[in-house]
Chain A
Amino acid sequence: MATQSSVGEKNKAGQTITDPWQMMHDAERTPCFFTGSEVIKEALRRANCDIMIAYPITPQSEAAALAGELFAEGFIGDYFRGESEFAVMSQCAGAAFGGARVFTTTAGPGTMRAMENFPMWAGARLPIQMIVTCRGINSPLSIQPDTLEISYLLNTGMLVWHAETAQDFYDWILKGYMVSEEPDVHLPLALCCDGFFVTHTKDMVSLTPADMCLPPYDPYRSPVPCMDMECPPVRMMRDPFIMKSNYISYATHASWQQEVWAAVERSRKHTVRWLDGLIEVENPGAEILLVSSGTAVSQGREAKVLLEEEGIDVGIVKIKSLRPWPGEEIREATKNAKHIIVPEFNVTGWMAREIKATIPNSERVYAGPRVCGGMTLPPEIIAADIKTLLGIKNKALAGRGS
């Protein structure tokens, strides 16, 4: 039973347990050309994970199956396919209640199917890590990239991060455990990326050494008891709170919800440290700022290049963490911006809404361009919208002969 961080010792797979900060910052990195799914596997290999529970759904099926290979190779304590995402997320909860470090992956309809579990995870303070490779959740059935599901996760009490690249993904899986397992946080993390764009494309990623791994999870640093009967409970309750319609009962529920959200807040300092800030700003002085998360940021970067060719100066704000929400950082970064463009891969524009609710003079926010249902977001479209906003005439993007 691993209860103490034991840097320098070997884990069951023969990897050396390494100080996480040193592993992530100082250890030598090897560049590899991998798909996002392979990157998930490689991060998990180094995560000293006890249990991974899998269920197939595109576009995370490959990553979930690769995790199975890791189990077969002895890098994960247990692994199995559950019967549905609802069941899988409950199985993850059971494993985390029992003091295990837990990993799972899902997408789109899987996220929605499992939804009842997420506020339960947060309320039970289970630091489970769930990879969400976003895809459409609409009907008719779609498997294409679409980030609408993220908006449903924002009010669950989970930490929610949105990776742009495979490199983010690799680093954040490992760093994610470090943040979510902090005793003053101890919350689940939804680590999201845009399905296909990140999972199914190959990219150069620098990996930490395969013979190093994170220290094991110590469930006795949890702010709530680990359900393993190693420290038997005292019967504390006279009446379960659900029974009572009185102020004490309401106050108990209210204060626990507030505590969960306070824990999200307390994760801020750890997230800032590990992710090097909740946002990343490029060209901060620009009057036109592209602000978004995930691969919408990558497309924004391309649009920036196109606009610069025409002498239009554009800055980029990449939002890395959605919960905790970088309100202060966004206010600061956008304080001199005249136009705030929010490109998104979903129909409702939840990111633009979040930003509008954060900054003064929110009429500066242009909620778009948005694509959904699997469409790509060509940089030309972003550039064209910005020019229209500035009153500059666009050339036709594609001639239709009229």
Chain B
Amino acid sequence: MSLERIKIAPEMYEIMPPEYQDLVKNATYGNENRGWKDIGTSKELIEEHSLCAGCPESMAFRYILASLPAPEDTVMVGSTGCTSLVFPHVGIHNIHSLFGNQNAIATGLKRALTVRFPGRIKDVVVLAGDGATVDIGLDMTLQAWFRQEKFTTICFDNELYANTGGQESGLMQKGFVAKMAPVGKTFEKVRLPEIARESGCHYVVNCTVSKPNLIEKVIKNAIHIAREIGPTYLQLYTPCILEIGKNSMEGLQEMRDSEKPTERFAYREYISDQAKELLTEMAAKEKERKAEAKRQLASVKA
């Protein structure tokens, strides 16, 4: 942040909570190179969380928040579910309103920010569970994509309704026995990534959150493409270790097992031609920026 944006009046400094002092002093806001490697070395946008111990959603949250390209101008939208237990701890503005309406909220929010801040970047990022994204909120998920709303939708796919105790969801695998699927789920996992592509998303990725550098890349791509072109969608496997009977150390292995080439979370991506062009342009600029930095460093040394 721009440390410009976030300051504490000197008279107030002592009485501000230590976290706020720390945020002002050590945040990575405004740093173009911010990313997952900052985790643990500088102030993060999330410290504590109230998820189950070892829940992969907590890793996913850290990687995503560390990778936001402009957190000082990002507003997130959540939904009811395990994620809604985390958002109150998050150090950027975020909205929880109802269960399943996240893409409708984000639509209104993004449009309001566009009207109010013409010419400025204001990124909107939705982060919700699979029940919220695919079942109760599907119409609003899809309609936002049809309308080409310029924000990123992230689905934490744990293949069930975790927060209400492990009921069947549309993204659950066929045959899985769960609450409300007493004889096993009778239909296939909904193919939302394909539907997203057909619905007009310009960037779609289906993967697990086992690799922080990968998450950093897809988050940055998704947000930049949404900012410039149109809707983007990330479906991230964050297994509910509690409901699939794993212990707190086993989340990472579960993700690694599920991302093998023949498995349902093998890395898959779709990038529209327009988005490809943008990514190429961005890569060129990035190269130039790094070269320039090197030149500057060399001239300082010389």
A-side interface residues toward B, CB under 8 Å?
1-2, 50-51, 53, 77-78, 80, 82-84, 86-88, 90-100, 102, 116-117, 120, 124, 225, 227-230, 232-240, 242-243
Contact B108 A96 (CB under 8 A): yes
Could you say which of B74, B94, B104, B113 contacts A91, with CB atoms under 8 Å apart?
Answer: B104
Of B6, B85, B143, which is within 8 A of A242 by CB? B85
Q: A117-B98, A225-B93 are in contact. Are A94 and B105 (CB under 8 A)?
A: yes
Residues of A within 8 A of B127 (CB): none
15 other contacts beyond A87-B139, A93-B97, A225-B93, with CB at 8 A cut-off?
Answer: A88-B104, A90-B101, A90-B108, A91-B111, A95-B109, A95-B112, A97-B112, A98-B112, A100-B108, A100-B111, A100-B115, A234-B20, A235-B47, A239-B50, A240-B50
Are B147 and A80 in contact, CB atoms less than 8 angstroms apart?
A: yes
Min CB distance A126 to B, Å, is 9
- The 8 A CB mask of B118-161 against A (1 = contact, 0 = none) is 00001000000000000000011001000100000000000000
* A234 B91 Cβ-Cβ under 8 A: yes
A-chain residues with CB within 8 Å of residue B107 when the two chains form the complex = 82, 91, 94
**Complex: A316 Cα to B84 Cα, angstroms:** 51
CA distance A240 to B20 in the complex (A): 19
Q: How far is the CB of A55 from chain B (nearest CB, A)?
A: 12
Chain B residues with Cβ below 8 Å from A87 are 101, 104, 139-140, 143
Taking Cβ atoms with an 8 Å cutoff, the residues of B that contact A are: 1, 5-6, 16-17, 19-20, 23, 46-48, 50, 72-75, 77, 84-85, 87-95, 97-98, 101, 104-117, 122, 139-140, 143, 147
Contact A93-B48, Cβ < 8 Å, known A1-B117, A87-B140: no
Which A residues are CB-close (under 8 A) to B48? 238
A71: shortest Cβ distance to chain B, in Å?
11
Closest to B85 in A: A240
Across the two chains, which residue of chain A brings its CB closest to B76?
Answer: A227
Are A100 and B116 neighbours in the complex by a CB distance under 8 Å? Answer: yes
Q: Provide a sorted-by-A list of 30 A–B residue pairs whose CB atoms are within 8 angstroms.
A: A2-B116, A50-B112, A51-B115, A78-B114, A78-B115, A80-B147, A82-B107, A86-B101, A88-B104, A90-B98, A90-B105, A94-B95, A94-B104, A95-B109, A96-B112, A97-B105, A98-B75, A98-B113, A100-B111, A100-B115, A124-B97, A225-B93, A227-B94, A228-B122, A229-B93, A230-B5, A232-B1, A234-B16, A234-B17, A234-B19
- Please tell me if the beta carbons of A53 and B122 are within 8 angstroms of each other in the complex: no
Q: How many A-B pairs fall under 8 Å by CB?
A: 160
Among all A-B residue pairs, the 4 with the closest Cβ atoms: A94-B108, A98-B112, A95-B108, A90-B104
Contact B98 A116 (CB under 8 A): yes
Taking a contact as CB atoms closer than 8 A, the residue among A2, A80, A227 that contacts B109 in the complex is A227
In whole angstroms, what is the CA distance A236 to B47 when docked?
Answer: 11
Q: Contact at B104–A229, with CB atoms within 8 Å?
A: no
**How many angstroms from the CA of A98 to the CA of B140 in the assembled complex?**
19
Contact, CB under 8 Å: B122 / A229 = yes
Q: Which residues of A contact B47 (CB under 8 A)?
A: 235
**Structural contact, B143 and A227, CB atoms closer than 8 A:** no
Cα separation A82 to B103 with both chains bound (whole Å): 12
| CB nearest to A117 among chain B residues | B98
> How far does the alpha carbon of A53 sit from the alpha carbon of B140 in the complex, in Å?
14
B127 to nearest A CB, angstroms?
15
When distances are taken between beta carbons in the complex, the residues of chain B under 8 Å from A229 are: 72-75, 92-93, 122
Asked if B109 and A237 sit within 8 Å, CB to CB, the answer is: no
Min distance, Cβ B223 to any Cβ of chain A, angstroms: 14
B50 lies within 8 A of A90 (CB): no
> CB within 8 A of A227: which of B46, B93, B111?
B93
Q: Which of B20, B85, B93, B140 is in CB contact (< 8 Å) with A228?
A: B93
CA distance A278 to B11 in the complex (A): 46
Please tell me if the beta carbons of B108 and A98 are within 8 angstroms of each other in the complex: yes
**Nearest B residue (CB) for A82:** B104
Nearest CB in chain A to that of B107: its residue: A91
User: Do A232 and B93 form a contact, CB below 8 Å, given A227-B75, A240-B85?
Assistant: yes
Q: How far is the CA of A235 from the CA of B114 in the complex (A)?
A: 26
- Contact partners of B101 in chain A: CB under 8 A: 86-87, 90, 93, 117
CB pair B88–A91 under 8 Å, yes or no, is no
**Chain B residue at minimal CB-CB distance from A94:** B108
User: Given A1-B117, A90-B97, does the pair A97, B109 have CB atoms closer than 8 Å?
Assistant: yes
User: Contact between A233 and B91 (Cβ–Cβ < 8 Å)?
Assistant: yes
Which of B19, B20, B74, B106 is A94 in contact with, Cβ under 8 Å? B106
* Contacting residues, chain A, for B105 (C-beta < 8 A): 90-91, 93-94, 97
Given that A80-B147, A83-B143, A243-B85 are contacting pairs, would A120 and B108 also be in contact in the complex, using a CB cutoff of 8 Å?
Answer: no
Q: How far is the CA of A227 from the CA of B6 in the complex (A)?
A: 15
Known: A83-B143, A90-B104. A228 touches B75 (CB 8 A): yes
Q: How far is the CB of B219 from chain A (nearest CB, A)?
A: 17
Instruction: Give Cα distance in the complex from A230 to B90, angstroms.
Output: 16
Q: What is the distance, in angstroms, from A349's C-beta to the closest C-beta of chain B?
A: 31
- Residue numbers in B under 8 Å from A240 (CB-CB): 50, 84-85, 87-89
Nearest chain A CB to B116 CB, angstrom units: 5
Bound Cα distance A234, B88 (Å): 10
Q: How far apart are A86's CB and chain B's nearest CB, in angstroms?
A: 7
Min CB–CB distance A143 → chain B (angstroms): 24
Please, which residue of chain A has its CB at the minimum distance from the CB of B114?
Answer: A78
Given A92-B108, A227-B109, A232 contacting B98 (CB threshold 8 A): no
Complex CA gap A240/B111 in Å reads: 28
Residues of B within 8 A of A100 (CB): 108, 111-112, 115-116
Q: Cβ of A78: which chain B residues have Cβ within 8 Å of it?
A: 111-112, 114-115
Complex Cα–Cα for A380 and B139 (A): 49
CA distance A86 to B108 in the complex (A): 13
Least CB separation from A53: chain B residue: B108
A227 to B106, CA, bound (A): 11
B1 partner residues in chain A, CB cutoff 8 A: 232
Q: Nearest chain-B residue to A95 (Cβ)? A: B108
Q: Which residues of B contact A50 (CB under 8 A)?
A: 112, 115-116
